[in-house]
Structure 1
Amino acid sequence: MLYLVASCIALLFGPLFYRYFSSGSGLQKGLDGFIFVSLGGLVLIHILPELLEHGGFVTLLFVVLGLWGPTASEKVFHRYSEITHNITLGLGILGLLLHTITDGGAMVLAQQQDNSPLLALGVILHRLPVGLAIWWLLKPQVGTRWSSIVLVAMMALTAVGYFAGEQLIHQLSIENTVYLQAFVTGSILHVVLHQPHGDHTPDKQDKYQYQAGIGSLLGLGLLALLLLMDSGEHAHAHHGHDHGVEQFVSWLLTISPVLLLSYLFATIRFKFGLQPQHNQLASRWLQRLAGPESLIITLALLGPWFALYQVVGLTIIGGLLTWCKIPLTDPHHHVPVSAWRFGFAHLVDRSAPWIILSLVLANLIGHPSVPLENPALQVFILLLVFIPMRFCNLGAAVLALALFYSGWNQVAVAFSLLAAPVINIAQLKLMKWKQGLMLGGVLLGAFIFADLVDLTSSFVLRLPESINIFALGIVCLLFGASLLRLGPRKFLSKMMSQFKSEHSHDHGHSHNHNNHNKNQSHAHNHSGSVHKPHK
């Protein structure tokens, strides 16, 4: 009973925090950063992987429908965009209410003798961002009364889940509602990403990004605490099950030392004149496709044969693009004079979102419940990922590494190394159709070669655990500093840089929140449980 009361009290902190943080624009930005990271991460890492485990590949389709369906509907039926937005918001709230019942059941399980009380503590803690998000999403839209009713409903449904017994829990179990929950999960992500009620005061000069970064770091801290608790409980329940946050940390430990080495190499090559503003197009394409610091990741963690394949393939692609005089999309802006600032600040800002996305994306599409064993299907799925986004070379190398560790075919790994930095809609628009066909022919020939020749190698870098831990600490500091500089929305907008317009959700509401921030782009990161690298 104590757990039930504590979980209800945790929800009530939402209105209290909201009232305090809504007293100034800087604090509002901090609140937005906290909600954006904590609730978004909670949905992606805590809920979505569990849905994948029970629903398989079809689950992702329902998530995408819930995420992008409202945006498409508002563009097609612009006159009814307010109705579409309200339906999406309602679905998101419905999903949180549905999840609340399972929270009540989870606390009952935590009271059983064989289970750890950490499960109940995790449920109570994750109610903090949920309660805050409810108030953040609803109060500007429908006012205090309806927001309070929703919170009371959440408390009541928690009690229902706590007292109802096994029969109701079974009827609302994931197995019976997996696709509904997947669609609602996408709706929640849509609402969180699109900041439905906007800011009270426009932040055109990004003067409050530091506060947004502080809020996002606090959200990350809470999320990490919840994941560690959930991981420990999951491992206890499944006797060392392979899929958990430990494996994600293991991946980060593996790449961190090599990633720092890549940033150092970028610093050195910048110092010696290989810079983004180089007057030769061939040099600019070299930096876009390979860095060449991404080759260090491939060489160290995938082996010399993959590195040689990447060098030859990107040289041919870069030569073709230079010969056709194709300009680069999304050039570097405001490049610092200092080589150290370029390597460990500017390049971190551009690559960190892609590195995080690459790991969590490989998590989802590499999940054992997502059967993508056919190489052609793997390449097709990756093509759908690459076209709307422009991967940086470091992100492409990390994605290739994560896919290789997830057991994907080496053709898909090769596709990531060569195609990710160049196959995107913004870059393809700058090519004539004949140039696009030539590029496609080069990639096809490279993939046929990758299918015929074994590129795997046992000569990969293995460092002591102490070095990996130290390097991971430095990488966390670098990425955290980037979050502070940019704020979470601008940090993630690097992944969708060709979509400059902000979906502002200006639906003509009667309340006084019509000043929306139209300068921020938004993107999504998916996360979930990862898998152990193959030995």
Structure 2
Amino acid sequence: MLYLLASCIALLLGPVFYRFFSTEHGLQKGLDGFIFVSLGGLVLLHILPELLEHGGFISIIFVIIGVWGPTASEKLFHRYSEVTHNLTLILGVGGLLLHTITDGGAMVLAQQDDVSILLALGIILHRLPVGLAIWWLVKPQVGSRWAMAVLAGMMLLTGVGYFAGEQMLTHLSLDNTVYLQAFVTGSILHVVLHQPHGHHSQDETSKVNQQKHEYHAGIGSLLGIGLLFLLLMMDSGGHEHHHHGNSTEQLVDWMMALGPVLLLSYAVAGLRFKLGLSPQSSHLGKRWLQRLAGPEALIITAFLLGPMVALFQFIGLLAIGSLLTFSRVEPTDPHLSVPESPLRFGFAHIVDRSAPWILLSLVLANLIGHPSVPLENPIIQVAVLMLLFLPMRFCNLGGAVLALSLAYSGWSIPAVMLALVAAPIFNLAQLKLMSWTQRVAVIGLILVILALTSLFQPHWSMITMPESLSMISLIVLACLFAASLLRLGPRKFLARIMLIKPKAHDHGSHDHGHKH
């Protein structure tokens, strides 16, 4: 009963924190950063692996429908965009309400003698961002009374889950409601990404104040990351997360292996900038060399996938770069401004551009490499990756990290090579800059590279680093990524990888020109 009471108190702390943090714009940005990272991270690292375990690959399709369906509806039925958004908000809140029942049932398990107290503590802690998010999402839309009613409903349903018999919990289990929960999970992601009530002052022109507020948002996001890390460390396998612990350990292993090599790659980026290889070079071939290979991306491949795979990647990128240069195709997403210092270029500018992609690649590989996702056929693997790349604008380091993660997950070498050579260019934004002849030539060349890779089957192998070096490098890398978060704020940090740019829904003015 003590656990139940503590979980309800954790929910009620949401309005208290919201009232404190919403009194000043900078603190409100900090609250936004905390909820954006903590709630989004809970979904990506805590809920999605569970949905995959119970629903397989189809559950991801329902998540995607939940995320992008409302946006598509708003574009198709512009007059009813407010209704669509409010319906999405109701679905998202409903998903959180449904999840509270399983929280209550898990606390019953946590009271058993053979279960660690960390399970109960983890459940209670993850209710903090949920309570905050409910107030953050609901109060600006319909007022504090309805927001409090939702929190009361969550506490009631937690009690239902706590006191209900096993028969009721069985009917509400993930096995029976997995696709519904996948859809409402997508709805939760939608309302978090599209920030339904951003109070962006139109008369605030001071860049100093704006940077200060982004700094507050960065601090909030770092606190959210700290909470996520604490929750992942406390996950003891309960709460129906049979595979989740293994996924967390796998992510940590990948990051430990990646740390030293990624730092070396950033150093190489600074060195080549000092030697005159700048993204703003007037020579098209040099710009394509940096877009495709860096050449710092080849460092990751050589150290963690082996020199043979790096050689195949180099030859493939050389062929693609030569074709694009000869065809006079301009790279998309140019570097509009670069710092003068090679040190700042390598360890700040390139970090800002690559860190979101590296984190996304690790999460993606952790999901699509899940044992419940039946992607063993190399042709299906290649097709899935091509569909994944189309709406995105991967950087070369992000593609290399994704390839590394896929190789460690047991994917075929053609799929790994596709991530190495096609991730930076096979996207809608880049393809739109090409003629039909150029598109056919580039896609044909990529397929030829994959066919040769499948024919020769270069074996991959990695260089094992000392554990102490990996740990120190990972700490330094975390500090670099944290500094990037503080500079940009979480939304701008992730803006490069979002398929739809999130902007505030100003429902107060009823002017629904949603430009995401």
1:244 deviation in Å?
A: 3.2
Determine which of 338, 342, 346 is the counterpart of 1:339. 342
Aligned to 1:28: 28
1:413 deviation in Å?
A: 0.5
Residue type at the aligned position of 2:231:
L
Residue 102 to residue 235, structure 1, CA distance change in 2 (3 Å): closer
Q: Does residue 228 of the first structure (1) align with residue 230 of the second (2)?
A: no
Residue 325 to residue 234, structure 1, CA distance change in 2 (3 Å): same
- How many residue pairs get aligned? The number is 511
Alignment of 1:423-502 (within 5 A): 423-458=426-461, 460-496=462-498, 502=502
Q: Distance in 2 between matches of 1:416 and 1:338?
A: 31
Residue type at the aligned position of 2:410:
G
**Is there any run of 5+ residues in structure 2 with no aligned partner, and where?**
none
1:96 deviation in Å?
A: 0.4
Alignment of 1:402-421 (within 5 A): 402-421=405-424
1:385 deviation in Å?
A: 1.1
Q: Distance in 2 between matches of 1:241 and 1:189?
A: 20
Q: Distance in 2 between matches of 1:69 and 1:59?
A: 15
Q: Does residue 290 of the first structure (1) align with residue 293 of the second (2)?
A: yes
Kept in 2: contact 1:286–1:318 (CA 8 A):
yes
1:165 deviation in Å?
A: 2.0
Aligned to 2:201: 201
Q: Distance in 2 between matches of 1:131 and 1:441?
A: 51
Determine which of 350, 356, 369 is the counterpart of 1:353. 356
Give the TM-score of the pair, scaled to structure 2: 0.96
Q: Does residue 43 of the first structure (1) align with residue 46 of the second (2)?
A: no
Aligned to 2:219: 214
Residue type at the aligned position of 2:386:
L
Residue 236 to residue 106, structure 1, CA distance change in 2 (3 Å): closer
Q: Distance in 1 between matches of 2:12 and 2:351?
A: 38
Q: Distance in 2 between matches of 1:209 and 1:73?
A: 31
Aligned to 2:155: 155
Q: Distance in 2 between matches of 1:328 and 1:440?
A: 16
Q: Deviations over 1:327-373 (max 9, x none)?
A: 11111122000000000000000000000011110111111100011
Q: Distance in 2 between matches of 1:169 and 1:12?
A: 25
Kept in 2: contact 1:139–1:147 (CA 8 A):
yes
1:128 deviation in Å?
A: 0.5
Residue 517 to residue 58, structure 1, CA distance change in 2 (3 Å): closer
Residue 80 to residue 321, structure 1, CA distance change in 2 (3 Å): same
Kept in 1: contact 2:195–2:502 (CA 8 A):
no
Aligned to 2:172: 172
Alignment of 1:48-447 (within 5 A): 48-199=48-199, 201-202=201-202, 205=207, 206-207=210-211, 208-230=213-235, 232-233=236-237, 243-447=246-450
Q: Deviations over 1:45-91 (max 9, x none)?
A: 11111010000010000000000000000100111111111110000
Residue type at the aligned position of 1:169:
L
Q: Distance in 1 between matches of 2:91 and 2:416?
A: 37
1:201 deviation in Å?
A: 2.8
Q: Distance in 2 between matches of 1:443 and 1:107?
A: 52
Q: Distance in 1 between matches of 2:184 and 2:377?
A: 30
Q: Deviations over 1:227-251 (max 9, x none)?
A: 1101x4459996x987231221111
Q: 4+ residue stretches of structure 1 with deviation over 6 A?
A: 235-238, 514-518
Residue type at the aligned position of 1:175:
D
Q: Distance in 2 between matches of 1:317 and 1:174?
A: 46
Kept in 1: contact 2:196–2:505 (CA 8 A):
yes
Q: Distance in 1 between matches of 2:17 and 2:505?
A: 24
Kept in 2: contact 1:32–1:212 (CA 8 A):
yes
Residue 13 to residue 516, structure 1, CA distance change in 2 (3 Å): farther
1:517 deviation in Å?
A: 11
Residue type at the aligned position of 1:388:
P
1:319 deviation in Å?
A: 0.5
Q: Distance in 1 between matches of 2:180 and 2:230?
A: 28
Q: What's the secondary structure of 2:497's corresponding residue?
A: helix
Residue 515 to residue 377, structure 1, CA distance change in 2 (3 Å): closer
Residue 380 to residue 481, structure 1, CA distance change in 2 (3 Å): same
Q: Does residue 4 of the first structure (1) align with residue 9 of the second (2)?
A: no
Kept in 1: contact 2:14–2:131 (CA 8 A):
yes
Kept in 1: contact 2:81–2:512 (CA 8 A):
no
Kept in 1: contact 2:44–2:363 (CA 8 A):
no
Q: Distance in 2 between matches of 1:21 and 1:271?
A: 44
Residue 374 to residue 517, structure 1, CA distance change in 2 (3 Å): closer
Residue type at the aligned position of 2:216:
Q
Kept in 1: contact 2:50–2:244 (CA 8 A):
no
Aligned to 1:531: none
Q: Distance in 1 between matches of 2:268 and 2:96?
A: 46
Residue type at the aligned position of 1:494:
R
1:376 deviation in Å?
A: 1.3
Kept in 2: contact 1:388–1:496 (CA 8 A):
no
**Is there any run of 5+ residues in structure 1 with no aligned partner, and where?**
522-535
Q: Deviations over 1:303-346 (max 9, x none)?
A: 11110001100001000100011111111122000000000000
1:44 deviation in Å?
A: 1.4
1:113 deviation in Å?
A: 1.2
Residue 117 to residue 242, structure 1, CA distance change in 2 (3 Å): closer
Kept in 1: contact 2:103–2:239 (CA 8 A):
no
Q: What's the secondary structure of 1:244's corresponding residue?
A: helix
Q: What's the secondary structure of 2:495's corresponding residue?
A: helix
Q: Distance in 1 between matches of 2:513 and 2:40?
A: 20
Kept in 1: contact 2:50–2:241 (CA 8 A):
no
Q: Distance in 2 between matches of 1:93 and 1:241?
A: 24
Q: What's the secondary structure of 1:243's corresponding residue?
A: helix
Residue type at the aligned position of 2:61:
L
Q: Distance in 2 between matches of 1:234 and 1:224?
A: 17
Kept in 1: contact 2:193–2:502 (CA 8 A):
no
1:375 deviation in Å?
A: 1.2
Q: Which range moved further: 340-349 or 323-332? A: 323-332
RMSD value, Cα:
2.0
Residue type at the aligned position of 1:198:
G
